Structure 1
Amino acid sequence: MRSKTSDQWRSILKSKTWDSPEGEKRIFSILKLSFDELKLPSLKQCFAYCSMFFKDFDIEKDDLIQLWMAQGWLHPCSDKNLEMEDRGNEYFKILLAKSFFQDITKDYAGNVTKCKMHDLVHDLAEHVSKSRNLRSHFSNGEVIGSNLLNFKSLHVLNLYKADIMELPISIGKLKHLRYLNVLKTRIKTFPKSIGQLYNLQTLKIPYHLEEFPKEIANLINLWHVYFGRYMKVPSGILGRLTNLRSLPFLKVGNKTGPGIRELSGLNQLHDNLSIYGLENVGDGEELKANLVEKRHIHKLILGWKLSRPSHYVENDDDVLEGLRPHSSLEFLEIQGFRGIKFPSWLLVANNLKEIKLLGCNNCEGVPVLGHLPNLSCVEIKRMENLTLIGSEFYGDNHVNCGNGSSKEARPLFPALKTLCIEEARNLIEWMEAPTERASVVFPCLEELTLIDCDQLISAPSHFPSLKKLVIENMENGGMPIASILSNQLTTLTHLRLWYVGGPTCLPEGMLENNKNLAHLDIVDCSELTCISPQSQGFEYCCASLSYLRIWDYDVVAL
């Protein structure tokens, strides 16, 4: 049993053995043995609890861990410095590795977010569950019964999709309640007694609700709160919830609503944080957010309103500079920034893996990024004032070139895999890397996308690992295409050219050099008259081609 890998277990789960009653019994007994091998009683309880979900239900990992936490099964061992949710993640990984979970869904960072249980695994969970735990109530869509509040020891009240318009006024009597989910109900207001649920850890509010219950300010043990984008949150509430681990977003108010200073003490926030309405941040207030102390935040979105009067953009530079995150940040998205320069703290964001710059229309240049060792994805969209991507983009001056006076060449953009530049309509020139570093730039770049860069007339020529090139809506695409598809390129597998003007022929040797080209998609490139001038012929050059589309013009030579 211990020798079986998770892949072997999955193959067993998918086999036809399940189709026979005898085979089903045998597999069930094997699964029972695997369950018995779980050493920790609390881990067995966590597995058995999964029987509370319907068969074939999409189980959200974070929600499941919060439910385990509400039951009190995730208290970490004294010899480990782990929080309850860290222990929950450990348990989830163990159960996943043993194939008790399947059909997983992952997020942008490759982390598991959802899973399901095979029917027989679900049956096992029901079998090993001693009894339906009266500390949990899961709604089946029915109306909440008045006798529910008689269960004073209730820890979990999951009313997801229940046909209810209100909660009982006496809900505050559920003093031990730690988890309350009323998503997708018709509830419009909460009773004031909600503020008496002092042990509540997780609260999920219907997204259609417009008024945030002020009484929630009393729930100082709250770890997770979920609400919709249009919720009107009064000022002074969120700042009191200093134990929060997750917050869907903070929308900074102008005259009403929360101020950015309410983030000051929320240093336990984990994973994702989105801050919108940054045009409403007054001079110096950004420092009160204290983002630099929030070491558990891995993804940060900073958003300004795109359409706003000019007097609302005077302090954008200072605000962004003052919103310096902790150095552990991995994903950064900046939306609607109308300042002129990007923050200096980007120079030392060495753990950054992904950056998106969206609608930063006043910036004339891009940030220095090429020296960042872990950066794997860069997305630049809607930068109207960007005219030049110069040598500073590569970060050459910020790379340690070895010891002392050594001229050892270190790679620029050493981990970058995808680069997208879109709607940079005034971009004219994209310069090569500095001459002494040209041979070590973009060593891992696999996907390059250029869309709506109408005036671009030059691009670099060194992309040693490029597999996918997409160029769309470019009137003067001839020279950039010739440069990118130079004789040095031999790794291309996917080429898409849509609505591109300029080239009359694909660069000589391009098809011949890229023997693994499998996808060639050319649409409405009106000046293109020649695909393959090579003497060997199109069929010889494109032996690996599995998709070909050439549309809306006459091809003179193939």
Structure 2
Amino acid sequence: MLRSKTTDEWRSIVNNKIWDLPEGEKRILSILKLSFDELKPSSLKQCFAYCSMFFKDFDIEKDDLIQLWMAQGWLHPCPNKSLDMEERGNEYFTILLAKSFFQDARKDYGGNVTKCKMHDLVHDLAESVSKSRNLHSLFLSGEVLDLESNLLNFKSLRVLNLYNADIMELPISIGKLKHLRYLNVLKTRIKTFPKSIGQLYNLQTLKIAYQLEEFPREIANLINLRHIYFGRYVKVPSGILGRFTNLRSLPFLKVGKETGPRIEELSGLNQLQNTLSIYGLENVRDGEEAQKANLVEKKHICKLILEWKLDRPSHNVENEDDVLKGLRPHDSLEFLAIHEFMGVEFPSWLLLAKNLKQIELLGCNKCEGVPVLGHLPSLSCVKIKRMENLTCMGSEFYGDNHVNCGNGSSKEARPLFPVLKTLHIEEAQNLIEWMEAPTEGGTRVVFPCLKKLTLIHCDQLTSAPSHFPSLKRLVIQDMDSGGMPIASYPMWGDLLICRKGCWKTTRILHIYTYLHVRS
């Protein structure tokens, strides 16, 4: 980093002759080259040069790029740091982004960069400094002729990227690529793998075509896998996923009933990172079995999606309260989605979700109340949809009993929903009352940061809180004439209302903005 440079190093940069060059592309390239020369360690330079493999204006996925760097062996951690290879790669990516070698960064819900591009001049620089003979990578797309012969000529391959290649099968010789660490066959027509796939013992990243019919059991031998991607409808035999204890990426687990993986296969996968989706939870027998997933030990999972099958027999839902209780995640979780849960109450572990930023409850039709959320210090977005049994949102929603007061000499309690910015309630057709927060005779700040409130298909709602100090946008859509409890309150910002059978919301926004300006 620049702060670590000595006086002589700074003097050398200042006195460099590139500053005497006239304005233009040549000078810019020279400055970029100087920035490249200053990159340390040398493996960071190799990582940047590798980006010449991508076409100009290509959308580079950060995680994929890090996995490619990892396959080349450039992400070994420093002796004085405890970072694993993925963390090291993320550090390199951040440095290159900060130095403007990457641009047009796109971010996810949590503000984390997921994609980027390279400016054409930066791409030209990467081409000029790369040494392709040392890359050990083969990228093939479109029509591929005689893949068998191609592979025999590249026995030292570390990366084989066949993304979008017009192939139907992998040759048996794939097993001879003993050094292969990255294999991508996404968007190909491959439906089966040769058994020799099980000989790729050094494979770290495997991206499988989504129409693959079934995992070959030989994949169980690939115990060095750190990232695996496959489609939701691939038949995964039981007992395989649990062997991959080094896994950092697993797109989902679809719990089987008589065949397929069991939820306990997640038990030892405590290195999983980022997002984990668990489908087919109707096939989990009880809370004890759910606990075997050991989600509470998976501290690197930021986003968790829990989903039951929508059209399942109603007589099999008695155990769902216990199952959800048993799926308690680590307290570091930031995003939680619960879909089609048919239990009657939400688990108490939500009380401890101090790092939770977003929660999404879809199709929880048997629940008569919402979770205790008002005390959560990081919660910024709440989405509630299709809760047919919800009739009242009261003290349990605010979680008043779980909010500690300030110092002992003050009667003023801490704010409720202190950082919530977005609240979306939809298809709560039996919701009648949304109560004000309890005050117990003192002052209470509620929704201090709420900027957007959306109510859709809440036909019976007749009362709601009257104070939203920061609200900028209110959307009330597809509600009966009696169900407009908030529309009469004074508002600042956009007011968007759409009654049943009325105009489209975009037109209503224009009309209400126009009327507001006229008044």
Tell me the amino acid that sits aligned with residue 242 of structure 2.
G
Q: For 2:325 and 2:481, how far apart are their aligned partners in 1?
A: 36
Write the mapping of 1:499-518 to structure 2, written as runs, cut at 5 A.
Answer: 499=499
Query: 2:302 is paired with a residue of what secondary structure?
Result: strand
Asked whether the 8 Å contact 1:470–1:495 carries over to 2, the reply is: yes
Correspondence for 2:231: 228
Query: 2:429 is paired with a residue of what secondary structure?
Result: coil
Query: 2:360 is paired with a residue of what secondary structure?
Result: strand
Correspondence for 2:217: 214
Q: For 2:2 and 2:232, how far apart are their aligned partners in 1?
A: 47
Correspondence for 1:550: none
1:495 has 2:487 as partner: no
Correspondence for 1:431: 435
Correspondence for 2:154: 151
Instruction: Give how far 1:542 is off.
Output: 2.4
Q: For 1:438 and 1:314, how far apart are their aligned partners in 2?
A: 42
Query: 1:480 is paired with a residue of what secondary structure?
Result: coil
1:238 has 2:213 as partner: no
Q: For 1:359 and 1:134, how far apart are their aligned partners in 2?
A: 49
Correspondence for 2:113: 112
Q: 2:517 aligns with which of 514, 538, 542?
A: 542
Q: 2:270 aligns with which of 267, 272, 290?
A: 267
Correspondence for 2:14: none
Q: Structure 1 regions of 5+ residues with no counterpart?
A: 4-20, 502-518, 524-530, 533-537, 544-557
Correspondence for 2:347: 343
CA spacing shift, 1:92–1:477, aligned 2, 3 Å:
farther
Q: For 2:150 and 2:303, how far apart are their aligned partners in 1?
A: 43
Q: 1:463 aligns with which of 468, 481, 497?
A: 468
CA spacing shift, 1:134–1:102, aligned 2, 3 Å:
closer
Tell me the amino acid that sits aligned with residue 499 of structure 2.
Y
Q: For 1:140 and 1:229, how far apart are their aligned partners in 2?
A: 24
Correspondence for 1:139: 140
Write the mapping of 1:472-487 to structure 2, written as runs, cut at 5 A.
Answer: 472-477=477-482, 479-482=484-487, 485-486=489-490
Tell me the amino acid that sits aligned with residue 51 of structure 1.
S
Tell me the amino acid that sits aligned with residue 42 of structure 2.
P
Q: Under a length normalisation based on structure 2, what TM-score does the superposition of the two structures give?
A: 0.91
Query: 1:123 is paired with a residue of what secondary structure?
Result: helix
Structure 1 runs (4+) deviating above 6 angstroms are: none
Correspondence for 1:417: 421
Q: For 2:366 and 2:398, how far apart are their aligned partners in 1?
A: 21
Instruction: Give how far 1:172 is off.
Output: 1.0
Instruction: Give how far 1:280 is off.
Output: 0.5
Asked whether the 8 Å contact 2:43–2:75 carries over to 1, the reply is: yes
CA spacing shift, 1:185–1:500, aligned 2, 3 Å:
closer
Correspondence for 2:369: 365
Q: For 1:478 and 1:316, how far apart are their aligned partners in 2?
A: 33
Instruction: Give how far 1:402 is off.
Output: 2.5
Write the mapping of 1:160-175 to structure 2, written as runs, cut at 5 A.
Answer: 160-175=163-178
Q: For 1:395 and 1:404, how far apart are their aligned partners in 2?
A: 20
Q: For 2:57 and 2:148, how far apart are their aligned partners in 1?
A: 27
Q: For 1:175 and 1:326, how far apart are their aligned partners in 2?
A: 37
Correspondence for 1:47: 48
Instruction: Give how far 1:164 is off.
Output: 1.5
Asked whether the 8 Å contact 1:494–1:520 carries over to 2, the reply is: no
Query: 1:289 is paired with a residue of what secondary structure?
Result: coil
CA RMSD of aligned residues (A): 2.3
Instruction: Give how far 1:405 is off.
Output: 7.1
Q: For 1:56 and 1:406, how far apart are their aligned partners in 2?
A: 58
Q: Cα deviations across residues 98-128 of structure 1 (Å, max 9, x unaligned)? A: 1111122211212111111111111110101
CA spacing shift, 1:398–1:22, aligned 2, 3 Å:
closer
Q: Cα deviations across residues 114-173 of structure 1 (Å, max 9, x unaligned)? A: 111111111110101123435111114341251422322211111111221111102111
Instruction: Give how far 1:308 is off.
Output: 1.2
Query: 1:231 is paired with a residue of what secondary structure?
Result: coil
Correspondence for 1:355: 359
Query: 1:521 is paired with a residue of what secondary structure?
Result: helix
Q: Cα deviations across residues 65-100 of structure 1 (Å, max 9, x unaligned)? A: 000000010011111111111110111111111111
Tell me the amino acid that sits aligned with residue 462 of structure 1.
H
Q: For 1:482 and 1:207, how far apart are their aligned partners in 2?
A: 47
Tell me the amino acid that sits aligned with residue 497 of structure 2.
L
Tell me the amino acid that sits aligned with residue 496 of structure 2.
R
Correspondence for 1:447: 452
Q: For 2:254 and 2:137, how far apart are their aligned partners in 1?
A: 33
CA spacing shift, 1:26–1:430, aligned 2, 3 Å:
same
Q: For 1:208 and 1:279, how far apart are their aligned partners in 2?
A: 25
Q: Cα deviations across residues 153-208 of structure 1 (Å, max 9, x unaligned)? A: 21111111122111110211111110001111121111101001010000000011
Q: Cα deviations across residues 464-511 of structure 1 (Å, max 9, x unaligned)? A: 00001000011144651256x24xx4xx2211100169xxxxxxxxxx
Query: 2:128 is paired with a residue of what secondary structure?
Result: helix
Q: For 1:458 and 1:151, how far apart are their aligned partners in 2?
A: 70
CA spacing shift, 1:477–1:98, aligned 2, 3 Å:
farther
Correspondence for 1:510: none
Query: 1:339 is paired with a residue of what secondary structure?
Result: coil
Q: For 1:213 and 1:52, how far apart are their aligned partners in 2?
A: 31
Q: Structure 2 regions of 5+ residues with no counterpart?
A: 4-21, 502-506
Q: 2:389 aligns with which of 379, 385, 388?
A: 385
Query: 1:318 is paired with a residue of what secondary structure?
Result: helix
Q: For 1:322 and 1:431, how far apart are their aligned partners in 2?
A: 31
Q: Under a length normalisation based on structure 1, what TM-score does the superposition of the two structures give?
A: 0.85
Correspondence for 1:15: none
Q: For 1:454 and 1:134, how far apart are their aligned partners in 2?
A: 62
Instruction: Give how far 1:58 is off.
Output: 1.1
CA spacing shift, 1:388–1:438, aligned 2, 3 Å:
farther
Q: Cα deviations across residues 21-61 of structure 1 (Å, max 9, x unaligned)? A: 98222211111111111121000000000011111111111
Q: For 2:254 and 2:2, how far apart are their aligned partners in 1?
A: 50
Asked whether the 8 Å contact 2:256–2:283 carries over to 1, the reply is: yes
Tell me the amino acid that sits aligned with residue 494 of structure 1.
D
Q: For 1:255 and 1:286, how far apart are their aligned partners in 2?
A: 16
1:312 has 2:287 as partner: no
Q: Cα deviations across residues 381-429 of structure 1 (Å, max 9, x unaligned)? A: 0000000001121111101113447422210000100000000000000
Q: Cα deviations across residues 527-556 of structure 1 (Å, max 9, x unaligned)? A: xxxx99xxxxx98x627xxxxxxxxxxxxx
Asked whether the 8 Å contact 1:497–1:522 carries over to 2, the reply is: no
Q: For 1:189 and 1:195, how far apart are their aligned partners in 2?
A: 13
Write the mapping of 1:391-402 to structure 2, written as runs, cut at 5 A.
Answer: 391-402=395-406
Correspondence for 1:507: none
Asked whether the 8 Å contact 2:460–2:483 carries over to 1, the reply is: no
Paired-residue identity, %:
79
1:291 has 2:295 as partner: yes
